[in-house]
Chain A
């Protein structure tokens, strides 16, 4: 047993750090570390830098432009990225639809879409959930009817993250109503500029516009935009979900958030002393940091198993539950640390160019919004209740 990185892995970490030191734009890192919203342009600027470095597609085979990293190397990259304030990659193209296209797509689909994902020419979003199909995804109703060489799609998708920026959407649609729910679903790649598609923003409780509803009215989609076989989409969808689930625990993000919390608590004042010196508050931080340490090792155990040729199983569901609870606990403490200043919504201070006086701490403004926004962590990517169902079925056999 040895829980340390090998010499080669340490060398890789140094290489990653050297690259980030030199290539990560300071303004983008400041936004990420200060929990500010990123613009489309911010995402694209960083995507281009990674693309040029050849480090954008970490889940792809080399023949398509991927980078050959081991699971441990991917983990190191993720950790360092979080530490440096790298924008979270928008996963829908590079980490979600691309692996599906690579595994199940036609040669033409690979040649059309993969280079455009790699170069950043296409921005993908996900058309899975519907108003009536959330945890019970297989009950989805969006209908695709075959008419000659195309499908006609009607229906609605929801919770479409950053759909307002996307020009492509991958959708699960019902192509057969005669069979069991899971057996009548197909996987379509749809150009968002096709007539009949409307995107409507959903504003979340913190006032942010991250998610959308997407409406399809008689949208014509060429048959060649179907991935794999008709009615076999559920298989591809499940394959994609395993990619979604890895990384949802957000251990690296929790570590970054924890270090942010400790800095905040050393600046905030209670009883005339830094809050971090307050026994009860420092114990609350300590408890969460201890949980995070345990989750970090759990994460490494899963990664080591994958490195040894295993598949991530229901363990990643357990880790998703723990990891999201930890991140939410950190957000809770950060909000508590600023006391009465959790109440104001000083929107002007969210702008990094703000030059006025801060109401309280320079990083206080986004903390309440972030606490509320991150309630989503235990809901999305398979709610924590669904993750527990997976664990009880797959591991416990209940």
Chain B
């Protein structure tokens, strides 16, 4: 047993850590957030030049051949910088869906673009009524003229506002299917909004969107398991990101406890705050352990054991993230409530991570369901 990164993995993490430190100051992030893309196009380019957008793809696809641990290393560093780039959506999730379900020609066309960073992809799997259940798909895809016609509405597509390619779930006569849509296809309407945590997304309405049969990813009606599997990889990646966010949140809080004085002494001398800081640290360690577990099962074959591990991880991350967010603000006092100081932005990201791919309640239920089923 060895919990250390190997040399290659460590190098990957160090490279990105340096890049984030150099390019992603808090002030720069605020500026990136306000651009039309909602992230730094330059930083995205730098990630791809360093080969980081190719990390999870096989060497035949020009990739790095990395697995869950490599993705974990990248996501944790992106989390530390509160980076806004759509790595999770494009590289991990959309890339994963195409990689698993796509045929050779689809992989050729799209995966090389995603791996090189030239093509930005997003995933549109949730719907207004679906809550966090990705099997609740009401968007319809009807066969027509050798292709399909899509109608429906997809909810909260992070990065979808500027994606070139959108992977959409829709129900055909055979069941849930996946389609890769070029975002400029006629009939795609996007309502773009900023998100609470500083990035951007959209809701997408599909109005008689005609696509060819080559847009169908995988077999007609058999996308359910693909979506579930890749959502699991995305959950593992989100957990890793959350650990990076929590690390910095705790570092900021600890610094503040040492430096802020009231009643003539640093507030970190008060036992109530010492114990709270210890609790925040314990929560982070629980979260870190679960992110490791999630990363180690992310690329394993699907099983109830994998399902349980991923739901357990997302549940812990959701709870520890909220604890650190709330107690960190409380420990900072008023200054933790301000836009100008970075802590609040870490806190907001942690709470929003809980709203991506199922919150702690959702995964608690899922875990309990698997427990009963076994």
Do A and B actually bind? yes
Residues of A within 8 A of B (CB): 129, 132-136, 139, 158-159, 202-205, 207, 211, 269-272, 280-281, 284, 332, 335-336, 339-347, 359-360, 368-369, 371-372, 375-376, 378-380, 383-385, 388
Q: Which residues of B contact A344 (CB under 8 A)?
A: 156, 193-196, 201, 203
Contact call B330/A202, Cβ cutoff below 8 A: no
Contact call B355/A205, Cβ cutoff below 8 A: no
Contact call B195/A340, Cβ cutoff below 8 A: no
Q: How far is the CA of A206 from the CA of B155 in the complex (A)?
A: 22
Contact call A207/B361, Cβ cutoff below 8 A: no
Q: List 24 A-B contacts (CB under 8 A).
A: A129-B334, A136-B262, A204-B337, A204-B338, A205-B338, A271-B131, A271-B133, A280-B365, A336-B361, A339-B359, A341-B155, A341-B156, A343-B196, A344-B193, A344-B194, A344-B195, A344-B201, A345-B196, A371-B351, A372-B196, A379-B329, A380-B334, A383-B330, A383-B333
Q: Which residues of B contact A134 (CB under 8 A)?
A: 262, 333-334
- Looking at the complex, which one of B155, B261, B263, B337 makes contact with A375 (CB distance below 8 Å)? B337
Q: Which residues of A contact B336 (CB under 8 A)?
A: 375, 379
Q: Which residues of B contact A332 (CB under 8 A)?
A: 322
Q: Interface with A: B164-172, B180-188, B340-348, which one?
A: B340-348
Contact call A376/B337, Cβ cutoff below 8 A: yes
Contact call B355/A280, Cβ cutoff below 8 A: no
* Contacts known (A270-B131, A379-B337, A385-B272); A346 close to B361, Cβ less than 8 A: no
B144 at the interface (CB under 8 A from A): no
Q: How far is the CA of A100 from the CA of B235 in the complex (A)?
A: 56
- Looking at the complex, which one of A132, A135, A272 makes contact with B129 (CB distance below 8 Å)? A272
B3 at the interface (CB under 8 A from A): no
B352 at the interface (CB under 8 A from A): yes
- Looking at the complex, which one of A271, A272, A343 makes contact with B195 (CB distance below 8 Å)? A343
B356 at the interface (CB under 8 A from A): yes
Instruction: State the interface size on chain B (CB cutoff 8 A).
Output: 48
Contact call B344/A379, Cβ cutoff below 8 A: no
Q: Which residues of B contact A376 (CB under 8 A)?
A: 334, 337
CB distance from B146 to the nearest CB of A (A): 34
B158 at the interface (CB under 8 A from A): yes
CB distance from A357 to the nearest CB of B (A): 8
B62 at the interface (CB under 8 A from A): no
Q: Which residues of B contact A340 (CB under 8 A)?
A: 126, 131-132, 155-156, 355-356
Contact call A339/B355, Cβ cutoff below 8 A: yes
Q: Which residues of A contact B193 (CB under 8 A)?
A: 344-347, 359
Q: How far is the CA of A135 from the CA of B267 in the complex (A)?
A: 10
- Looking at the complex, which one of B158, B334, B347 makes contact with A343 (CB distance below 8 Å)? B158
Q: How far is the CA of A207 from the CA of B194 in the complex (A)?
A: 12
Contact digits for B173-210, partner A, Cβ 8 Å, 1 yes 0 no: 00000000000000000010111110001010000000
Contact call B337/A343, Cβ cutoff below 8 A: no
Contact call B337/A205, Cβ cutoff below 8 A: yes
B225 at the interface (CB under 8 A from A): no
Q: Which residues of A contact B194 (CB under 8 A)?
A: 344-345, 347
- Looking at the complex, which one of A135, A202, A343, A388 makes contact with B352 (CB distance below 8 Å)? A343
CB distance from A361 to the nearest CB of B (A): 10
Q: How far is the CA of A175 from the CA of B306 in the complex (A)?
A: 67
Q: Which residues of A contact B273 (CB under 8 A)?
A: 385
Contact call B339/A207, Cβ cutoff below 8 A: yes
Instruction: Using CB atoms, name the residue of chain B closest to A389.
Output: B272
Q: How far is the CA of A375 from the CA of B336 in the complex (A)?
A: 10
Q: How far is the CA of A211 from the CA of B326 in the complex (A)?
A: 20
Contact call B337/A359, Cβ cutoff below 8 A: no
B224 at the interface (CB under 8 A from A): no
Contact call B133/A136, Cβ cutoff below 8 A: no
Instruction: Using CB atoms, name the residue of chain A closest to B341.
Output: A205
Instruction: Using CB atoms, name the residue of chain B closest to A356.
Output: B191
Q: How far is the CA of A378 from the CA of B338 in the complex (A)?
A: 15
Q: How far is the CA of A332 from the CA of B356 in the complex (A)?
A: 16
Instruction: Using CB atoms, name the residue of chain B closest to A133.
Output: B262
Contact call B203/A204, Cβ cutoff below 8 A: no
Contact digits for B251-283, partner A, Cβ 8 Å, 1 yes 0 no: 000000000011110000010110000000000
Contact digits for B119-151, partner A, Cβ 8 Å, 1 yes 0 no: 000000010110111001000000000000000
Contact call A136/B263, Cβ cutoff below 8 A: yes
CB distance from A92 to the nearest CB of B (A): 17
- Looking at the complex, which one of B132, B203, B340 makes contact with A339 (CB distance below 8 Å)? B132
